[in-house]
Amino acid sequence: MSPHILEMRSISKTFPGVKALDNVSFQVAEGEIHCLVGENGAGKSTLMKVLSGVHSHGTYTGDILFRGEVQSFRGISDSEHAGIAIIYQELALFPELSVYENILMGQEITHGLGVTVDWNETVKKATEMLKRVGLKVNPEALIKDLGIGQQQLVEIAKALCKNVKLLILDEPTAALNEDDAENLLLLIKDLQKNGITSVLISHRLKEVIEIADTVTVLRDGKTICTLDARKGQVSESVLIKNMVGREIHKIYPARGNCVTDEVVLDVRNWNAYSPKLGRAVLKDIQFNLHKGEIIGFAGLMGSGRTELAKSLFGNPDGYELRGEMTFHQQKKRFKHPGEAIQAGLAYASEDRKGNGLILIQDIKSNITLANLEKVSNRGILDANREVKEANDYKNALKIKTPSVEQTVVNLSGGNQQKVSIAKWLFVEPKILILDEPSRGIDVGAKYEIYTIMNRLVEQGMSIIMISSELPEVLGMSDRIYVVSAGRIAGELSREEADQEKIMHLATS
């Protein structure tokens, strides 16, 4: 039997238009702690979904060998049955049920006939599991009353109950405070002593270095390298270099220097607290924007960039805000997106299908929605003017469609994104925030969007570009702010910035 408990060989998986995994190989030795690292979009989650059966056998090419046998998982229950348990960042617990009900969910101990649950035995088993993970809570406590760190331990207890052999944890410490994170890592090491193999996906490189026996780096859907910590191959700089070290093949359209000295947006001591989430979302943010400038906001997903943009754009999520925003030399705080739009600020959201466009409506209605006054007389729509304006924007942005009366849902991703941008250009903003402007778009459309952005700043607009794509941030920004966990981790000029510096700040 091979010393590897898990071998994934030549795994490839394609989604329409995107090759998420390209001939990936991934081996985990029995009893080790193996960390999987890579940027957003590198393929880590997809690989784990292939392993756990979420992407069932047949939807990918390549082989999975677990404990020496080829596996063809058709769903999570298959992989769980084999002894693989995966714990996601968004925990899969039932908040209104008790700890013991959650731990034994689906595996309750029953009386003889298998119809009624033997709750006494169930609670007993749950208590056993709680001991194993070192969680000192009443098994009858409700999940919703536990802290997130404790909830995570309940998830692990659940996995242990299923006799897990290979435990996969996706960003386990992302939502934890330092103490809880420390405890979790100790637990994982403890479980290792009991023969459980663990795979951790993590962006916290310091933790990776602390705990990993082996580290595999993925980039753009390919395995880049596997490093043995015991041989001293693992260090932060080596990891970052491999995570980002790609040639920047993409060419970005040239732009003259149109940055002026005039500061059009100045944000200081900006703090946001979310009552819904019960925690601070933005901490002491400080940045500024000049007329004619494109500034890039880089960072990992979930670092708080979208929250920052929305908090400035009328605060639709109802954060409690502190701090100052100076908009064109006037101190302001927009209470509603409508106010922001009136003042000349526009925000093109990252989730065009979710909250950017109205998919069941046509192109022209979507383009004009935020500024209907422009195509109306005293509240009454001028249908002809609307069509004309929509056609003008369609031509300017090269939106490929036979007519502006085409329903948006039928357009390709790239064209939908162009409609979204057209919508925000239609309000004639002075400052435009683009959140992930090229997400899910083919190369050709991306170039067209970059060209449009250049044209806009040449004509005096100022742009904030939020992007998780490093080459794009480097190729288009005059200055780059790196956001990490709700804070500005650093500011880089165009000349001094490179992928490694950004990633270093993003993971700090």
413 DSSP β-pair partners: none
The interface region with another protein, picked from 171-179, 238-246, 365-373, 488-496 by CB under 8 A, is 365-373
To another protein, the closest distance from the beta carbon of 401 in angstroms equals 11
By CB under 8 A, name the one of 86, 135, 156, 341 that touches another protein: 341
The interface region with another protein, picked from 111-119, 158-166, 338-346, 465-473 by CB under 8 A, is 338-346
What residue type is assigned to position 117 of the chain? Answer: V
Sign of CA dihedral 354, 360, 364, 368: negative
Contact 478, 487 (CB under 8 A): no
Q: Give me 287's structure tokens.
A: 């940045």
Q: How far apart are CA 417 and CA 353, in angstroms?
A: 9
To another protein, the closest distance from the beta carbon of 294 in angstroms equals 22
Looking at residue 134, the DSSP 8-state letter turns out to be: T
Task: Name which of 59, 2, 53, 46 is nearest 20 in CA terms.
Answer: 46
By CB under 8 A, name the one of 349, 438, 477, 499 that touches another protein: 349
The interface region with another protein, picked from 43-51, 118-126, 179-187, 335-343 by CB under 8 A, is 335-343
By CB under 8 A, name the one of 111, 230, 268, 336 that touches another protein: 336
Q: How far apart are CA 178 and CA 183, in angstroms?
A: 9
Q: How far apart are CA 222 and CA 218, in angstroms?
A: 6
To another protein, the closest distance from the beta carbon of 374 in angstroms equals 10
What are the CA-CA distances from residue 97 to residues 66, 103, 105, 140, 226 (Å)? 33, 10, 10, 9, 41
For 466, the enclosing helix (H) or strand (E) is strand 462-466
421 binds another protein per the rule CB under 8 A: no
The interface region with another protein, picked from 35-43, 49-57, 224-232, 374-382 by CB under 8 A, is 374-382
Q: Give me 111's structure tokens.
A: 């009386």
To another protein, the closest distance from the beta carbon of 310 in angstroms equals 8
Task: Name which of 357, 350, 352, 353 is nearest 469 in CA terms.
Answer: 350
396 binds another protein per the rule CB under 8 A: no
341 DSSP β-pair partners: none
Task: Name which of 266, 263, 357, 272 is nearest 319 in CA terms.
Answer: 272
369 binds another protein per the rule CB under 8 A: yes
| Residue nearer to another protein on the CB measure, 313 or 319 | 313
| Residue nearer to another protein on the CB measure, 59 or 355 | 355
410 binds another protein per the rule CB under 8 A: yes
To another protein, the closest distance from the beta carbon of 407 in angstroms equals 9
313 binds another protein per the rule CB under 8 A: yes
- Chain positions 25 to 44 lying near another protein, rule: CB under 8 A, are none
359 binds another protein per the rule CB under 8 A: yes
DSSP helix/strand/coil, 116: coil
By CB under 8 A, name the one of 347, 393, 450, 481 that touches another protein: 347
By CB under 8 A, name the one of 72, 235, 355, 493 that touches another protein: 355
By CB under 8 A, name the one of 381, 400, 428, 444 that touches another protein: 381
Contact 508, 486 (CB under 8 A): no
Using the structure block, give the residue that is written with the tokens 């962006």: 203
By CB under 8 A, name the one of 106, 195, 232, 379 that touches another protein: 379
Q: How does strand 431-435 pair with strand 345-348?
A: parallel
400 binds another protein per the rule CB under 8 A: no
77 binds another protein per the rule CB under 8 A: no
316 binds another protein per the rule CB under 8 A: yes
To another protein, the closest distance from the beta carbon of 242 in angstroms equals 38
To another protein, the closest distance from the beta carbon of 373 in angstroms equals 7
The interface region with another protein, picked from 63-71, 230-238, 263-271, 350-358 by CB under 8 A, is 350-358
By CB under 8 A, name the one of 149, 172, 299, 356 that touches another protein: 356
419 binds another protein per the rule CB under 8 A: no
Where do the H-state alpha helices sit in 76-118?
76-82, 99-103
By CB under 8 A, name the one of 358, 400, 442, 444 that touches another protein: 358
Where do the H-state alpha helices sit in 176-313?
178-193, 205-211, 236-244, 305-312
Contact 463, 453 (CB under 8 A): yes
Contact 277, 285 (CB under 8 A): no
Contact 210, 200 (CB under 8 A): no
97 binds another protein per the rule CB under 8 A: no
| Residue nearer to another protein on the CB measure, 248 or 277 | 277
Using the structure block, give the residue that is written with the tokens 């071998």: 7
Count residues near another protein (CB under 8 A).
36
Task: Name which of 284, 270, 264, 300 is nearest 463 in CA terms.
Answer: 264
By CB under 8 A, name the one of 1, 115, 251, 360 that touches another protein: 360
Q: Which residues bind another protein (CB under 8 A)?
A: 313, 316, 336-338, 340-342, 347, 349, 354-361, 365, 369-370, 372-373, 376, 379-381, 383, 387, 402-405, 409-410, 423
